[in-house]
Amino acid sequence: MEIPYVVTARPETGIFNAKAGIWLFLASEVMLFGALFTTYILLRIGAPTWPHGELDVALATVNTAVLITSSITMVMAWASCLTKDFKKFRLYLGLTILLGATFMVIKYFEYSHHFHIGDIPSKNTFYAIYFTLTGLHGLHVLGGMIVNSYFWGPGSKMWKSEPVRFTNRIEVAGLYWHFVDLVWIFLFPTLYLL
Amino acid sequence: MKTNQPNHAVETVAAPHVGVVHVHEELPFWRRYIFSTDHKVIGLQYGFTALLFLLFGYIMMMMMRWQLAYPDTEFPKYYFVLPIAAIGAIIILMSGIKPSINTLIGILLLGLAALINYIASGEERMPDGIMLPEFYNQLGAMHGTIMVFLGIVPLAVGAFGNYVLPLQIGAPDMAFPKINMASYWAYFVGGVIMLVSFFVPGGAANSGWTSYPPLADIATTGQTLWLFGMVFLITSSLLGSINFIVTVLQLRAKGLTFFRLPFFVWAQFVTAFLLLLAFPPLEAAAVLQLMDRLAGTSFYLPSGLIVSGQVLPNTGGGSPLLWQHLFWFLAHPEVYVLILPGMGIVAEVIANNARKPLWGYKSMVYSLIFLGFMSFIVWAHHMFLTGMGTAISAFFQTTTMIISIPSVIILSCLFISLYGGSIRFNSPMLFALGFLPMFGIGGLTGLPLGLATSDIHLHDTYYVIGHFHYVVAPGTIFALFAGIYYWFPKVTGRTLNETLGKIHFWGSFVCMNFIFFPMLIQGLAGVSRRLSDGGQQYSHAQGVFQLNEVMSVAAWVMAIFQIFFIINLFISIKKGKKASENHWEATTLEWAAAPTPPIAHGNFGIVPEVHRGPYEYSLPGNAKDYSPQNELVKE
Ligand code: HEM
Ligand SMILES: [Cu+2]
C-alpha cells in the first residue's frame, strides 16, 4: 500500500502532502522569528538609548536586492519545470544558488568588519539581537542553498523518473526560499533603518 | 466472517483473511527495528525509550524523596540499583543471549542501574551517601525535564500517536515516513545529551525544569547541555507535529470525515498544533540563553547584576522576565500537550468499555479546539508574582478561568458517557476510570492558582506541585497505562494479564493519593517547593513536616507496584493469552487493520472505507453490540 497524495493533490484540501507540510513548517518558523522580533521590541523599549546608524545600509540594500532577485529566479526555476524545460530549470536554480551565495559573502564582509572594530554580540543588547537575528537568518539561507544544490545536482535525477513529483519538490523548496526572503525583508528595516 | 456477525452479513473489510498482507523481501534487522521508517516500529521505539526515561525520572524522584523524608542521612542506594539490575538480567536470561528487542531492553536496564549507581555516589554529589543540596537541585531539574520532555510527551504523542493514529484513520503509514524516523532520532540524541550532562563538571542542569535566568545564565556547564538537548527535543517535536497534522489532513480513509474521527485522533490533531506553534518560541528562548552563556550577551541579564559579591562583567540591559514570557508561552500549551492525548485515550477506552457512544462527542471536539486556542493566551498565570501589573494579571486571570470551562465540559461528557452503560471493569477501563477523579482534583486545584489573589499565597509552594502532579501523574500516566493495556493486543496479538493489571491499578491508585494529597496540605501551610530538606529549617513547616515521610514511603511502595507492570509486560509479550482479532469488540479502524500489522508492508490488506461514526455501540435492533466504522450501514 503506497502513501497517497505524494504526487497528486487530495481533492478536499487541494494540495499534496509535502505542500501541507511546508506550510505548517513555515507557520512554526513564523513563531520562531516572531518570538525573536518580540524580543527585539522588548529590549528596545527597555533600553535607555538605542544605537543608530552603526550598520552599513548600502550593503544591506544590495543584499535585499540580491535576495529579492533570487526569489524571482526561484519562481522561474519552478515555472521552467512546469513548461518541461529542464535546461532552463537548471539555469534558474543555479542562479538562485549563486545569488544566495552572494548574499552570504556580503554578509560575511559585514560581519568581519564588525568583529574587526569590536562590535561583537556582547558589546550591547543591540548587537546581541542583531547577530542573533541575522545569524539565524543566515543559517536559514544556508539551509536553503543546501537543499537547492541537492535539487540542482544529485536530486535532479528524479526529473527523468517522476517529473511531476520533482516539480512539486521545487515548488516546496521555493516556498521555503520565499519565506527566507520575506524574513529578510522584515529584518532589513527593523535592524538597519529604524 | 466472524461468528458473532449478524446473518444478513454486511460486507466488512474487517474479515480476517483480507487483513493479511502479502510479504515482500525482508529488510535486514537494523532497517526493520533500528532505522525503521514504519510508523508502528517508530511508535514502539518511542514507547520503550520513553518508558525507560520515565523509570529513570521515577528513580531520581525516589532519591529526592529519601532526602526529603530523612534529610542528611545515608541513601541506601542498593535498594534501588539492585532490583533494576536484577530485572534487566532476568529479561536478558528469559529471552536468551541473542540479538532481540528484549535482550536490548535488558541491556538498557543494566545500563540504567549502572547510571544510578554512578550518580548516587561521588564526592561532588553524594559524599558518604548523603545528598548535597547542589545535587538535589540537579535531580529536581532533571526529574522535571526528563518526565515532561523525555517521558510523557514522547509516550503520549510519539508512541501512541505514531502507532495508533495512522491505523485509526485507515492510513498505510504517516505522511512522511523518513521525517518520522528523523523525529525519533532527534529525540534520542536530545535524550543522550541530557544523560551525558550528568557527567560534566558541575553535573547536570540545576536551575529547575523552568531554567529561570539569571540563575540559569550563570549556572554550570550542565545548563548549556540542557539547552542543546532541548533544541534537539524541540526539533523532534516539530518534525513529529508536522507529520501528524499532514497525516490527519491528507491520509484519512474514504468516508472518514472530521466528525467521524475517533476522539483520540482529534486529541492528537489539536496537540500537534500546540507543539507546532508553541515550541518555536522556546527554541528562540533557548538560543538566546545559549548566546548569554556562550557569547556573553545579556538578553536575560539586567544591568548591574551582582553575583557572589561581584558585579557581572556582562553589559546588562536585558530582562529575566523575557525568559519567563517565552518559556511559559511554550510551557502552558505544553501542559495541554501533556493532558490532551491522555484524554483521547481515556475517551476511547470509556466508549469501548461502557459499550455506549461518547455522550456529547461534538461538544467534546469543539471544547478541544477551543482549549487548544485558549491555551496560547493564559501563559502569564505562571507569573502573577513578577509584578506584571494588575491590568495584565486581570487579563490572564480571566482567560485562565475561561480555559477551565472546556476541560470541565470534556470531563463531564466522559462521566455522563458512563451513565447507563453496561461497564466492563477490565484493566484498561480501571485506569481510565481512575483518570477521571484524579484529573478532576488536578483541574479544580488549578482554579485557586489561576486567581491572582489566592496565587500570592500558593505560588511556589508544594500546592503547585500537588496540583500539576494530580493532572500529570494519576491523570496522564493513568491514561497512558490505560492505553498500554488497551492496545497491547493490537500490537502483540496477546493480552496483558488481568490479575497483574488489577494489582497494578489498585496499588498505584492508592499510593498516588498518598503521595500527592499531602503536597496540597503542605502547600497550603506555606511550605516552599524546591527545598532540599523538605522545609526542616522553617517553623511554619514543622506542623506538616511528618507528611514528608508518608509521601516518600508511598512513592517507594508505588515503585513495587510498577514491578507488577514490568513483569506483566515482558511475560505477556511471549506468553500472554492469545487475543482475538478485535479483542475489545471495538468500532474504530485500528481493529480492522491486519492483526499485529506487519512491519514495513502497509497496514491494511484492502484500503478500508468508512460508513459510520466512531462509537456506534449498542445500536438498537442490532444483534451485536458494536458496529465497526467500516461496516456498511444496512438499508
Ligand atoms: C484545568 C485548569 C487548570 C488551571 C486553572 C491551572 C492553573 C495553573 C496555574 C495558575 C499555575 C501556576 C501556579 C503558580 O506557579 O503559582 C499552574 C501550574 C502548573 N500547572 Fe496547571 N492549571 C490547570 C490545568 C493543568 C493541566 C491540565 C496541567 C498538565 C497536564 C497542568 C500543569 C501544570 C504545571 C506543570 C504547573 C507548574 C509549572 C511550574 O511552575 O513548574 N495544569 N496551573
Ligand atoms: Cu499554565
pLDDT tens string B513-544: 999 999 999 999 999 999 998 888 999 999 99
B299 touching chain A per CB within 8 A: yes
Contact B77, B121 (CB under 8 A): yes
Contact B432, B493 (CB under 8 A): no
Supply the pLDDT for residue B596: 74
Supply the pLDDT for residue B159: 97
Ligand 1 touching residue B380 (CB < 6 A): no
Q: How many CB atoms lie within 10 A of CB B613?
A: 17
Span from the CA of B530 to the centroid of ligand 1 (angstroms):
16
Of A3, A124, A132, the CB nearest to B175: A3
Alpha helices in B70-132 (DSSP H): 78-95, 101-119
Amino acid at A171: E
Q: What is the pTM of this model?
A: 0.94
CA B603 to CA B608: how far, in whole Å? 10
Contact B56, B84 (CB under 8 A): no
Contact B282, B290 (CB under 8 A): no
- Listed by number, the residues of chain A in 126-145 with a beta carbon closer than 8 Å to a beta carbon of chain B are 128-129, 131-132, 136
∠ CA B395-B397-B402, rounded to 5°: 95
Q: How many CB atoms lie within 10 A of CB B98?
A: 7
A31 touching chain B per CB within 8 A: yes
Taking CA atoms only, the protein residue closest to ligand 1 atom 12 is B382
Tens-place pLDDT, residues B471-497: 999 999 999 999 999 999 999 999 999
CA B338 to CA B311: how far, in whole Å? 40
Cβ distance of A128 and B295 shorter than 8 Å? yes
Ligand nearest to the CA of B475: 1
**Helical axes B263-290 vs A125-152, angle rounded to 10°:** 120
Across A22-31, B26-35, B304-313, the highest mean pLDDT is recorded for A22-31
Q: What is the 3-state secondary structure (H, E, C) of B125-191?
A: CCHHHCCCHHHHHHHHHHHHHHHHHHHHHHHHHHHHHHHHHHHHCCCCCCCCHHHHHHHHHHHHHHH
- Give the phi and the psi of residue B29 in degrees, each rounded to 5: -50, -50
Ligand 1 touching residue B472 (CB < 6 A): yes
∠ CA B60-B64-B65, rounded to 5°: 115
CA distances from A123 to A178, B156, B214, B232, B292 (A): 32, 44, 18, 29, 12
CA B241 to CA B143: how far, in whole Å? 24
Tens-place pLDDT, residues B30-59: 777 788 899 999 999 999 999 999 999 999
ipTM: 0.96
Taking CA atoms only, the protein residue closest to ligand 1 atom 41 is B210
Compute the Cα dihedral for B486, B487, B493, B497 and give only its sign.
negative
Amino acid at A193: L
Ligand 1 touching residue B210 (CB < 6 A): yes
Cβ distance of B246 and A46 shorter than 8 Å? no
∠ CA B210-B211-B216, rounded to 5°: 165
CA A50 to CA A126: how far, in whole Å? 7
Residue B96 has pLDDT above 90, yes or no: no
Tens-place pLDDT, residues B210-249: 999 999 999 999 999 999 999 999 999 999 999 999 999 9
Tens-place pLDDT, residues B439-463: 999 999 999 999 999 999 999 999 9
Fold of A17-25+56-193: Four Helix Bundle (Hemerythrin (Met), subunit A) (1.20.120)
Residue B117 has pLDDT above 90, yes or no: yes
Give chain B's mean pLDDT.
Answer: 92
Cβ distance of B317 and A46 shorter than 8 Å? yes
Residue B7 has pLDDT above 50, yes or no: no
Compute the Cα dihedral for B278, B279, B282, B284 and give only its sign.
negative
**Helical axes B462-471 vs B427-450, angle rounded to 10°:** 140
Query: How far from each other are the two terminal CA atoms of chain B, in whole angstroms?
Result: 20
B607 touching chain A per CB within 8 A: yes
**Hey, what's the cell of B477?**
500516566
B257-283 CB burial, b ≥16 within 10 A, e <16? eeebbbbbbbbbbbbbbbbbbbbbbbb
CA A153 to CA A139: how far, in whole Å? 21
**Helical axes B222-250 vs B263-290, angle rounded to 10°:** 150
CA distances from B345 to A121, B75, B432, B627 (A): 48, 38, 8, 20
Contact B240, B175 (CB under 8 A): no
A149 touching chain B per CB within 8 A: no
A155 touching chain B per CB within 8 A: no
CA B19 to CA B37: how far, in whole Å? 21
Atom of ligand 1 nearest to the CA of B471: 30
Which chain B residue is nearest to residue A16, measuring alpha carbons?
B250
Taking CA atoms only, the protein residue closest to ligand 1 atom 1 is B443
Q: Return the residue in A19, A28, A120 with the most chain B beta carbons within 10 A, the one to mutate for interface testing.
A: A28
Ligand nearest to the CA of B442: 1
Cβ distance of B281 and A32 shorter than 8 Å? yes
| Residue appearing with cell numbers 536496564 | B109
For chain A, which residues make up each domain, given as ranges? 17-25+56-193
Q: For residue B593, name the pLDDT band (cuts at 50, 70, 90).
A: confident
Tell me the sheet residues that pair with B183. none
- Segment B69-95 mean pLDDT: 91
Supply the pLDDT for residue B187: 98
For chain B, list the domains and their CATH numbers. 28-75+120-297+316-592 (1.20.210.10)
Ligand nearest to the CA of B143: 1
Q: How many CB atoms lie within 10 A of CB B387?
A: 10
CA A162 to CA B409: how far, in whole Å? 50
CA B347 to CA B592: how far, in whole Å? 19
CA B442 to CA B434: how far, in whole Å? 13
Ligand 1 touching residue B382 (CB < 6 A): yes
Burial class (CB in 10 A: 0-12, 13-18, 19+), B586: buried
**Hey, what's the cell of B353?**
468499555
B604 touching chain A per CB within 8 A: yes
Q: Is A54 helix (H, G, I), strand (E, B) or coil?
A: coil
Span from the CA of B332 to the centroid of ligand 2 (angstroms):
4
Cβ distance of A125 and B283 shorter than 8 Å? no
Of A27, A39, A120, the CB nearest to B288: A39
Tens-place pLDDT, residues B405-449: 999 999 999 999 999 989 999 999 999 999 999 999 999 999 999
Task: Enumerate the residues of chain B whose CB falls inside 8 A of the CB of residue A18.
Answer: 176
Cβ distance of A10 and B288 shorter than 8 Å? no
Task: Enumerate the residues of chain B whose CB falls inside 8 A of the CB of residue A16.
Answer: 250
Supply the pLDDT for residue A6: 92
**Hey, what's the cell of B87?**
530485572
Residue A37 has pLDDT above 50, yes or no: yes
Nearest chain A CA: its distance from B501 CA (Å): 36
